[in-house]
Amino acid sequence: MKTFCISSLLLLSIQLFGQDKKAISQPLVKHIYTADPSAHFFNGKIYIYPSHDIEAGIPFDDLGSHFAMKDYHVISMDSIGSEAVDNGVALQLSDVPWAEKQMWAPDAAYKDGKYYLYFPAKAYDGIFKIGVAVGDTPTGPFTAQPEAIKGSYSIDPAVFEDEDGSYYMYFGGIWGGQLQNYRNNEFDQANELPKPGEPALLPLVAKLTDDMLEFAETPREIQILDEQGELFSEQQNDKRFFEAAWLHKYKGKYYFSYSTGDTHFICYAIGDNPYGPFTYRGRILNPVVGWTTHHSICELGGKWYLFYHDSSLSNGVTHLRSVKVAEIKYRDDGSIETLDPYKP
Ligand code: FUB
């Protein structure tokens, strides 16, 4: 995630273009800024695990330092359209021994009576890692493990429970998310983004241990292929992975979805197992107001919903976003209809 001049241009064009357009959804809560929603249906209720955006007074930079979040709140709803309740602070930075700053996009999972909150943050060496905190209820409070997950790195964890009871974490994000500094799971500051014609960087997946606290295996790259079975190149930035991974299953197929970052789309690719490869199928969400786009997908009462964010409430301030929800529709062939977040 990164902010630079082109982002202002894009934002402006969306706002100008959007003068006669109306947002298809309103922020779920307006008393705080929330972003990066990971939605789950636990015990008959909807729980949303978002980032809690704040104005920390940190100047914009290309590393996203102005995304200086310090805690997590869990939002709950009885059903789509009902009141969204802020359940207060579920975990704060000062209670995470290994983390120094920037609590970015989290996710949560449930297993055997416990709830697990997964979150990225920068450790004291300036490197993003992914941590886990454990709670007895979906809204916390959560108690952080003393150390980050061994072998974890970068940002945007998304945890998927498969029907056989296995849990997998998907993660990774380039630019501010530092994925470009890794090759074969090893960090080297000298590593950079691939050149335009080279294969784009890929997201990672790792199965979790039975206790949900560690990786059960070395993270593996996830291949996202075009229709010819080729990997996308770095310059195919309207289709290649940037950040914000999510995995859901629909009619026996695995749908891997993600943000393209600097082109601001939420795209998806379909595969036959949790490790991929996944074949690109299209866009789920067109660009929103604000530079970042991030989402989750959840089935509720037989309908499918996209939880996403935009910066409309803050009049376009990139790091002050609001979580929204809209229904998505599948076609008979399993493809997803692209959602336009603003309609005439
Ligand atoms: O909220 C901080 C970062 O912005 C997230 O980790 C990215 O996915 C982007 O939404």
Residue 338 CA, chain-centre distance (Å), reads: 18
Q: Is residue 337 part of a domain?
A: no
Q: Tens digit of pLDDT for each residue in 162-173? A: 999 999 999 999
- 107 Cβ below 6 A of ligand 1: no
Per-residue model confidence as pLDDT tens digits over 100-142: 999 999 999 999 999 999 999 999 999 999 999 999 999 999 9
**Banded model confidence at residue 14, pLDDT cuts 50, 70, 90:** very low
Ligand 1 center–CA 155 separation, angstroms: 8
110 found inside a domain:
yes
What is the average pLDDT across 36-59?
A: 97
Q: Could you give phi then psi for residue 71, rounded to 5 degrees?
A: -160, 175
Query: Is the confidence at residue 285, as pLDDT, over 90?
Result: yes
User: Higher model confidence: residue 13 or residue 37?
Assistant: 37
Q: Is 1 in the pocket of ligand 1 (CB under 6 A)?
A: yes
Residue 341 included in any domain: no
Residue-level pLDDT at 78? 98
Let me know if residue 45 belongs to a domain: yes
Query: Active-site residue among 156, 243, 262, 310?
Result: 243
Mean pLDDT to the nearest integer, 147-171: 98
SS3 17: helix
CA dist., res. 277 & res. 279, Å (int): 7
The neighbouring-strand residues paired with 134 are 116, 143
CATH of the domain at 70: 2.115.10.20
At 58, which amino acid appears?
I
Residue range 217-272, pLDDT digits in tens: 999 999 999 999 999 999 999 999 999 999 999 999 999 999 999 999 999 999 99
Rg (C-alpha) for the chain, rounded Å, is 18
- Could you tell me if residue 192 is inside a domain? yes
* Residue span of the structural domain in which 95 resides: 6-328
**Phi-psi domain of 302 (left: phi exceeds 0; alpha: psi -120 through 50; beta: other):** left
- Report residue 19's pLDDT band, with 50, 70 and 90 as the boundaries: low
Please give the distance, rounded to the nearest whole angstrom, from the Cα atom of residue 323 to the centre of ligand 1.
Answer: 12
| Residue among 270, 267, 265 at smallest CA distance from 250 | 270
The verdict on whether 36 is a catalytic residue reads yes
Atom of ligand 1 nearest to the CA of 105: 6
Q: How far is the CA of 53 from the centre of ligand 1 (A)?
A: 10
Could you identify the atom of ligand 1 that is nearest to the CA of residue 51? 1
CA-nearest of 83, 89, 79, 86 to 45 is 79
Please give the mean pLDDT across all residues of the chain. 94
Mention every residue, 6+ apart, whose C-beta is less than 8 A from residue 184: none
Please name the residue that has the structure tokens 């393209």.
Answer: 260
Q: Identify whether 243 is a catalytic site residue.
A: yes
Q: Is residue 338 part of a domain?
A: no
Q: How confident is the model at residue 16 (pLDDT cuts 50, 70, 90)?
A: very low
pLDDT tens-digit map of 62-105: 899 999 999 999 999 999 999 999 999 999 999 999 999 999 99
Residue 343 lies in a domain: no
- The number of CA neighbours under 13 Å toward the Cβ of 304 is 18
Number of domains forming the structure of the chain:
1
The residue assigned the tokens 């789309």 is 265
State percent of the chain over pLDDT 70: 94
Q: Which pair of tokens denotes residue 34?
A: 């929330």
Q: Can you read off the two tokens belonging to residue 305?
A: 């919903």
Given pLDDT bands bounded at 50, 70 and 90, which one contains residue 21?
A: confident
d(CA 53, CA 32): 8
Q: How far apart are the first and last CA of the chain?
A: 29
Task: Indicate whether 143 belongs to any domain.
Answer: yes
Query: Phi first, then psi: what are they for 19, rounded to 5°?
Result: -55, -40
**C-alpha span between 38 and 75 (Å, rounded):** 10
- Residue 36 in contact with ligand 1 by CB distance below 6 A: yes
Give me 137's structure tokens.
């209820």
Q: How far apart are CA 146 and CA 114, in angstroms?
A: 18
